[in-house]
Chain A
Amino acid sequence: MKNRSLVSIDDFSTEEILRILDLTEEFEKEPTQKLLEGKVIATLFFEPSTRTRLSFESAINRLGGKIIGFSDSSSSSVSKGETLNDTIRMVDKYCDLIVMRHPIEGSARYASEISTVPVINAGDGANQHPTQTLLDLYSIRKTQGSLDNLNIFMVGDLKYGRTVHSLMMAMSRWNTTFNFIAPEELRMPDEFKIYLDNLGLKYYEHNDFTDIISRADIIYMTRVQKERFSDPIEYEKVKNVYVLRNSMLKNTKPNMRILHPLPRVNEIHQDVDINPKAYYFEQALNGVYTRQAIVCSLLGIK
């Protein structure tokens, strides 16, 4: 995978994805190494994303790499009107790899075509965020032992949620059963359901999940945002249906784990945090190892 960019999860074959997950496992055992000594990595965050940026910077720092960059575009030359084309043509001379977050969709693909060094897409608007998908896959494999034959519950905003779309597409490479739990206005878009139909994968749609929660291997929670509703009354009606509470977890499978891309607002009640099935903070930690694996793969170090 040396000198390749990672823009979309589809850029990697299933074998390549599994190779990244295996490598992530190695980094989890030994996260502090001198592998990136002498390397300079640019983190270009044209819009703020504290969590993703810190995760990348922690991953790189633990491997001894140096970081240059900016954390929002007001402190960069973009505020003076520089094009992305020019920014990339300059920055690629200064570094060995670029990590980029940008609000415009397709910006990462474009940057990867201009850049002479590999580009990692850390989110391009509502389009792709492949390192999140890889860390989700790692968290699922780690907690379930395998990616095969799992029952995945996706809960909340399934219409606009970039994270759930990418994870769904990625998990469709294995024999996954999906349960989509969302309010009427935020249901999984048809294009994704058609995709699953064509693959012959099973999926079920529900408005509520209290009765079926015992079947889940993974519950992937997302936030239902008030702004997504055209009618505020509709939001008031459903807002409590999509909140996970500890009392709901009684009859769940022993292997079941709860994932969330974070930040959480109120969709997982704090009383869930002490339940051993709550996995979202470990999931965030897995993000550091996953990013170490991705950076080292693209640089040809591992």
Chain B
Amino acid sequence: MSVSAIQNGTVIDHVPARNLFKVIQILGLDRIDNQITFGTNLESKKLGRKAIIKISGVFFEDEDINRIALVAPDAKLNIIKDYEVVEKKVVEVPDNIVGIAKCMNPKCITNFESVTTRFKVVSKKNVSLKCHYCEKITNQENMQII
């Protein structure tokens, strides 16, 4: 498959293949009119199978792009202007996570009523989230993306 280079925009590389559509959803790429090309199940030494997304004409703010940290912690961004990579960025786990993960506590209010989940990130290395509502910890092993 040949994917043409983009003139201006963002390339997101090193996305785990299984989480490609979650990244698309979190960034709202399914709701914009810009040209987007993506490839998935590409070979990667690091991830096994990776995905790559090229979005024309879109430049993300850090706080927006960091929202994908839970599903694509190793993602790398190339910012393209006039076919040239002008900047490279990595994803950082933010201090707070709003509306991306599900609280693992079955007795939490967020699992009963339509409440947007909110977490404080208590550990960034092995991501561990403290629910703003029930105050219970959700960690990597029991994390579900909404």
Chain A hits for B137, CB < 8 A: 191
Answer whether residue A126 sits at the interface, using C-beta atoms and an 8 A cutoff: yes
Q: Does A104 contact B (CB under 8 A)?
A: yes
Q: Mark B85-114, 1 if CB is under 8 A from A, else 0.
A: 000000000000000000101011110111
CB < 8 Å neighbour of A105 from B107, B113, B114, B115: B107
- Contacts A110-B133, A127-B135 known; A104 to B115 CB distance under 8 Å? no
B123 → chain A, closest Cβ, in Å?
12
Q: Which of A83, A84, A127, A128 has the most CB of B within 10 A?
A: A127
25 A-B pairs whose Cβ atoms sit less than 8 Å apart in the complex: A83-B113, A84-B109, A84-B112, A85-B113, A103-B107, A104-B107, A105-B107, A105-B108, A105-B133, A105-B135, A106-B103, A106-B108, A106-B109, A106-B133, A106-B134, A107-B133, A109-B109, A109-B132, A109-B133, A110-B109, A110-B115, A124-B134, A126-B107, A127-B134, A128-B135
Closest Cβ of chain A to B96, distance in Å, is 15
Q: Which of B109, B114, B131, B135 is A104 in contact with, Cβ under 8 Å?
A: B109
Give B115's nearest chain A residue, CB to CB.
A110
CA distance A106 to B116 in the complex (A): 12
Q: CB of B136 within 8 A of chain A? A: yes
* B interface residue numbers (CB < 8 A to A): 103, 105, 107-110, 112-115, 131-137
Q: Mark A97-109, 1 if CB is under 8 A from B, else 0.
A: 0000001111101
Q: Which residues of A contact B132 (CB under 8 A)?
A: 106, 109
Residues of A close to B103: CB separation below 8 A: 106
User: In chain A between 101 and 144, which residues have their CB closer than 8 angstroms to a CB of chain B?
Assistant: 103-107, 109-110, 124-128
Number of interface residues of A (CB under 8 A): 17
Smallest CB gap from A191: residue in B: B137
In the bound complex, residues from chain B placing their C-beta under 8 Å from that of A43 are none
Report the Cα distance A105→B130, complex, angstroms.
Answer: 13
CA distance A106 to B136 in the complex (A): 9
- Best-buried of B103, B107, B114 by chain A (most CB within 10 Å): B107
Q: Which of B107, B113, B114, B131 contacts A125 (CB 8 A)?
A: B107
Residues of chain B contacted by A126 (CB below 8 angstroms)? 107
Q: Is there a chain B Cβ closer than 8 Å to A8's Cβ?
A: yes
